[in-house]
Homo-oligomer: A and B are copies of this chain.
Amino acid sequence: MNATPAITALDLAAFNAAYARAIDSDTLEAWPAFFTERCRYRITHAEAQAEGLPGGLVYADSRAMLEDRIAALREANIFEPQRYRHILGWPHLLAADGDSAQAETPFAVVRTMHSGEQMVFASGVYIDRLVRGAGGLRLAERLVVCDSRRTDTLLALPL
């Protein structure tokens, strides 16, 4: 009996690199496929998280909702107004077996405006639950906890 080898931090690093690349290279339509069909994607901030507040800044519980979000972004942003660059840290594995994993990964995002101006737009941590299926790793849940409650996520690209 050959057990599937457990998911490693190296697997997650490769997954996260592909995830960030989909957003930062403006191939946003590829982004929802990093999630399972039924999934949970939420953006919140550290204070709300610490106080157990329910309201995320962004909330989706299916891949279809993520696809809608991208369609809406494309409609709103006819002239590409900004560009993101995700810089991700090394995934901290909390649990892993052959089928699933839980991990936390720190992130920072540099935003470049159309004018060329650059700034740190967001930092925080991904709190993830992933599953491995026939198509490889997928996010069953990604909770994006931003460090700042000021991070403007309404019109923003995905984090």
Contacts and interface: CB of A to CB of B under 8 A. Distances in A.
Interface of A: 9-10, 13-14, 16-18, 20-21, 24-25, 46, 83, 85-93, 104, 106-108, 110, 112, 115-120, 122-125, 147-151
B89 A86 contact: yes
A10 B116 CA distance: 33
Contact of A20 (B25, B106, B107): B106
> Which of the listed residues A10, A120, A123, A124 has the most CB atoms from chain B within 10 Å of its own CB?
A123
A16 B110 contact: no
A89 B92 contact: no
Contacts of A88: 87, 89-90
Contacts of A123: 85, 87, 110, 112, 118
Contacts of A90: 13-14, 16-17, 88
> Which of the listed residues A20, A89, A92, A150 has the most CB atoms from chain B within 10 Å of its own CB?
A89
Given A87-B107, A108-B108, 9 more contacts: A9-B14, A17-B89, A20-B106, A85-B123, A87-B89, A112-B148, A115-B150, A118-B150, A120-B120
Contacts of A117: 148, 150
B24 A106 contact: yes
B106 A85 contact: yes
Given A86-B89, A147-B85, A148-B117, A104 B21 contact: yes
